[in-house]
């Protein structure tokens, strides 16, 4: 699942990644823009996803990602791989990883790199 949490209204990168994943044969659910933490966590549970990809452009990732990770933990969701991408600063990576993020894709990451990571690290049907 690919999600845009918060008020960020830019989703081109999320759609590019979603298309690359779909083109490789991976089922993708895109939640759309301006989702709340609660909406994303509930959709993650309802859709029984293997990977939750969070995309950020607006700079609010250091506030929203810890909230998503906390909400997932509170709901007992511990088997979902969380990856993030977009406009993320390299210096934020250690804190995001400490919060439970599995992988951070920095600006300029080629979509094929993301596909390869998911194919390598997730048991897909």
User: How far apart are alpha carbons 20 and 22 in whole angstroms?
Assistant: 5
What per-residue confidence (pLDDT) applies to 29?
98
pTM of the model: 0.95
What per-residue confidence (pLDDT) applies to 34?
94
What per-residue confidence (pLDDT) applies to 123?
80
Question: Would you give per-residue pLDDT tens digits along the chain (125 residues)?
Answer: 999 999 888 999 999 999 999 999 999 999 999 999 999 999 999 999 999 999 999 889 999 999 999 999 999 999 999 999 999 999 999 999 999 999 999 999 999 999 999 999 998 66
Identify the CATH number of the domain defined by range 2-119.
3.40.50.280
What per-residue confidence (pLDDT) applies to 124?
67
């Amino acid at each position: 699942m690919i999600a845009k949490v918060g008020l960020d209204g830019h989703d081109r990168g999320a759609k590019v990644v979603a298309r690359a994943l779909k083109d490789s044969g991976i089922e993708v659910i895109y939640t759309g823009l301006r989702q709340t933490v609660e909406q994303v966590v509930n959709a993650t549970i309802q859709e029984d996803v293997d990977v939750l990809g969070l995309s950020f452009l607006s700079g609010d990732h250091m506030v929203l990602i810890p909230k998503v990770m906390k909400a997932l933990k509170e709901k007992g969701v511990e088997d979902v791989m969380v990856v993030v991408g977009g406009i993320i600063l390299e210096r934020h990576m250690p804190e995001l990883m400490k919060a439970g993020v599995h992988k951070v894709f920095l600006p300029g990451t080629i979509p094929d790199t993301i596909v390869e990571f998911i194919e390598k690290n997730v048991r897909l049907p």
